[in-house]
Chains A and B, each alone.
Chain A
Amino acid sequence: MKKVKADPKGVLTGAHYLDGDFAIAEGALAAGCRFFAGYPITPSTETAERFAERIPYVGGMFIQMEDEIASITALIGAAWGGKKAMTVTSGPGFSLMMENIGLACMMEAPLVIANVQRGGPSTGLPTLVGQGDMMQVRWGSHGDYQIIALSPDSPQECFDLTIQAFNLSEIYRVPVFIMTDECVGHMHEKVVIPPAEKIEIVERKWYEGPKDKYLPYKPDKDLVPFMVKAGDGYRFHTTGLTHDERGYPVINAECQDWNVRHLSDKITHNADKIIKYEEDQTENADVVVVSYGITSRVAYRAVQLARKAGLKIGTLRLVTVWPFPEKRIQELAKKVKAFVVPELNLGQMAKEVERSSAGQAPVLPVTHCGGWVHNPEDIFIAIKEAAK
C-alpha cells in the first residue's frame, strides 16, 4: 500500500462551519477525488452543489447525469479511466443505483458513494431523517458480495470518514459507502480541515509488471488484484459476467465459486483491519448501547441519564457498519446482561447484533420509523429494562 500526502490543491485547510453534506464534498476533494457524477436528490444535493462550485478551481470533473443509474455507471467508467470518483444520493436514488453497485463490485472498481439517508420506503420523507437503508447497502444488489460502509455522526466525521472511504476503496478495490443521514447531513458544526501534509492518502494499487502479463483479477497476497487504467496499453477486458483472472467470461459453477468467494474473501479476511468502532465504559457494563450515525448522539443523552441513575452502561458506536464488528459483539455478549440498539428503522442492525451475540445476551431494539430522532427518554426506558 503506497501512502502519500494529500494534494494541497484540494485541501481547504482551516476551521470551518460546515454541514455534513458540504463536509463530504471537502473530504472528497482532500482525498484526491477529481470526478463527481451525480443527480439531485434531497437531502444529499448540497454535496453535489459544493463539489460543482469547488472543482473548477481545483481541476477535475463534475457532471450532473440524467439519473442515478447513469451517475453510478459513469463512476465505474471513471474509475477504470484512472480517477478517484464519487457520487452522493438518498433513498430513491440509492435504490436506482443497486444494479450497478453490483457491477462495481464485480469489476472491482474503487469508488465512493454517500447515502444521506431519509425516511423511506419509496418517496417517504424527502426532507426528514431516517436510517432505513442499512441492510440495503449490504444486500441491495443481487448475488453475494461484500462492501464497506462507514457511518459518520458529525460533520467533522463526514470529512474524516470520506477520506477514509476513498483510502479503503483503493486498498480493497471495492465500492465504499458513507451511510450518513439527513440530520448529520444538514447539521452545521465546526469542521477542522488539517494541512494537506497531515492528510494521508492511499494511492491506487497500480500494476507495474510487463504489459502482456497483466491479469486484472489475479489476487495479490492480500487478495486484492492490481489495477491499471484504460489508455495505458494493457488492452484488458472486464465484464459483469462471472470471469476468470483474465477478466474473460467463464460461465460455469467452478469459476462462479472462485469469483464470488474472492469478492467476499478480500473483505472478510481483512475485516479486522477495516473495522473501526468507539467504545466507552464497556469494561464492567451491565448493558451496552450499540448505535451509529445521528442516533449515537441521541443515545448518549440516554446513557448519561442511565449513568446518573447509577446503572453501569457501556457504549459501542459503530464507525464501520459493514463489515459488521461481530467479533467484538461476541466478546461483549459473554459479559453483559443485554444490548440496547436504538436506530431510525424497525431494527436492522439490531438483528445483526442479535446474530453476533448468538443467544448469549438478549438484544433490545429501540425502533423508530424516522422523520425525527428518538426521544432520549425512550432509549433510557429500554436501558432500564435491559439492566433488570
Chain B
Amino acid sequence: MTKSKEQLEAENPIEHYLRMDRIPHIWCSGCGIGVVVTSFADALRKSNIDMDKLAVVSGIGCTGRVAGYVKLDSFHSTHGRAIPFATGLKLANPEMKVVVFSGDGDIFGIGGNHFIHAARRNMDILVICVNNFNYAMTGGQVAATSPIDANLSTAPYGNFEYPFSLPYLADACGATYVARWTVLHLRQVTMSIQEALGKRGFSLIEVIAPCVTLYARRNRLGDGLNLLKYYHDNSEVRHGADTRTLDISYQGKLAVGKFIDREKPTFLECMNNHMIKVLGDKYVPYGVKP
C-alpha cells in the first residue's frame, strides 16, 4: 500500500535531527546550504554517535544559521569566531564531539587566523564549510574564496585577488582529514561527514554550494539546476590528489574527493602525553576517563 504524502512527510527520517519548530528556514530556494544540512542529518542518522554528546557551533552568515536548525546543543556565535568557541566547548567538555558548521567568509575570511591555529594544534573538531564563493548574507560581496574574474558587488568589475584553496591551506596547517565535494555529491558528503565524525583530530569538509540569488545571478550563471549541471560536468574525483593542485578558477574544473586522511595525536593527547612525560605522577591528567 502506498503511503500518502502526509504520511511520508511525517516520517521524514531526518526530522529527529532538526528543530522542526524553526522550519521553514531562511535560505533562498536554490540555495545549497539546506542540502548540506540534509547530508549532515543523514550522516548522524547513519552513525552511532550519541546525539547528546554532539554540538554544532556556527558563526555568522547564511551557513551560520545552521546551528539554529539542528536539534543538538547548538551555538550561534559571532562572525568568524565559531572555531575558538568550539575550541573552548571541546576543551571544557572533552567527551563531546564538536562540529563547526559555517561559511567560507566566516571561517576563511574574518576567521582565517582561528582556522589555521586550530588545525596547527590538531584540535579535535570537524569543520564543515559551505563555500558559495561570496558573502551572501550581506548581498554578494567578494570573498577570500571568490574565483578570479567572478563578479561580486564589491568587485563590480570582476575579482582580481588570488583566492584561497581551502584544502591546500588545511593540509599545510596540519589537518588530519580534508575533503571537498559539491552539493551534487550528496552521498559523498554524507559519507565524508560520517567518516570525519569517526576521526580524532582537526577535519575539514568543504562543500561547494550554489548561491543562486547573488553569485549566480550577478554572474549570469542561471538557476540552481544550471549550477548543478556545471558541478556535474566539471567535477573531477581526485582522491589523494596533491593539495597544491586544487585551485578553483572561474567556472573551471572542480577537483573533489578526499585529499588527506592521516593520524596524529590531538591537542589534548599531546598535552596529556607531554605533561605525563615531564611531570610524571604529579600531573593531574585532563579530560581522560579514569
Contact = CB atoms under 8 A, between A and B. Distances in A.
Contact of A235 (B51, B76, B117): B51
B52 A232 contact: yes
Given A56-B279, A57-B284, A65 B84 contact: yes
Interface stretch (A80-88, A116-124, A201-209, A355-363): A80-88
Interface string B41-79: 000000000011101010000000001100111111110
B284 A231 contact: no
Contact of B67 (A35, A230, A237): A237
Given A66-B113, A81-B88, A235 B72 contact: yes
A145 interface: no
A63 B87 contact: yes
B96 A70 contact: no
Interface stretch (A158-166, A238-246, A268-276): A238-246
A77 B74 contact: no
A230 B113 contact: no
Contacts of B279: 56-57
A381 interface: no
Contacts of A66: 84, 113-114, 117
A113 to B, nearest CB: 14
Nearest to A243: B76
Nearest to B93: A81
A283 interface: no
Contacts of B180: none
A187 interface: no
A82 B19 contact: no
B92 A82 contact: yes
A61 B73 contact: no
Interface string B179-211: 000000000000000000000000000000000
B113 A81 contact: no
Interface residues of B, number: 44
B84 A61 contact: no
A235 B73 contact: yes
Interface residues of A, number: 46
Contacts of A139: none
B63 to A, nearest CB: 14
Interface in A330-379: none
Given A59-B286, A100-B78, A35 B92 contact: yes
A229 B88 CA distance: 13
Contacts of A57: 279, 282-284
B52 A233 contact: yes
A59 B290 CA distance: 13
Given A59-B284, A73-B78, A230-B73, A81 B92 contact: yes
A331 B285 CA distance: 54
A75 B92 CA distance: 9
A166 to B, nearest CB: 15
Contact of A231 (B57, B73, B74): B73
B91 A73 contact: no
Contact of B68 (A35, A56, A237): A237
Nearest to A63: B91
Contacts of B89: 77-78, 80-81, 230
Given A56-B279, A57-B284, A82-B92, A67 B77 contact: no
A227 interface: no
B85 interface: yes
B69 to A, nearest CB: 9
Contact of B91 (A61, A71, A238): A61
Interface string A207-231: 0000000000000000000000111
- Most chain-A CB neighbours within 10 Å: which of B72, B86, B91, B117? B91
A344 B259 CA distance: 57
B284 A103 contact: no
A313 interface: no
Interface string A27-68: 000000001010000000000000000001111110101110
Contacts of B84: 65-66, 69-71, 73-74, 77
Interface in B81-110: 81, 83-93, 95-96
A249 interface: yes
Contacts of B76: 237-241, 249
Nearest to A60: B286
A9 B51 CA distance: 33
A249 B283 CA distance: 44
B77 A103 contact: yes
B92 A77 contact: yes
Best-buried of B85, B86, B96, B114 by chain A (most CB within 10 Å): B85
Top 9 A-B pairs, shortest CB-CB distance? A81-B92, A77-B88, A74-B88, A59-B284, A77-B89, A239-B76, A70-B84, A81-B93, A78-B92
Interface of B: 19, 21-22, 51-53, 55, 57, 67-68, 71-78, 80-81, 83-93, 95-96, 113-114, 117, 275, 279, 282-287
Given A56-B282, A248-B21, A248-B22, 6 more contacts: A9-B284, A35-B91, A83-B93, A235-B73, A236-B73, A249-B76
Interface of A: 9, 35, 37, 56-61, 63, 65-67, 69-71, 73-83, 85, 99-100, 103, 229-241, 248-249
13 contacts: A57-B279, A63-B91, A70-B114, A74-B91, A76-B77, A80-B75, A81-B91, A230-B73, A230-B93, A231-B73, A237-B67, A237-B76, A240-B77
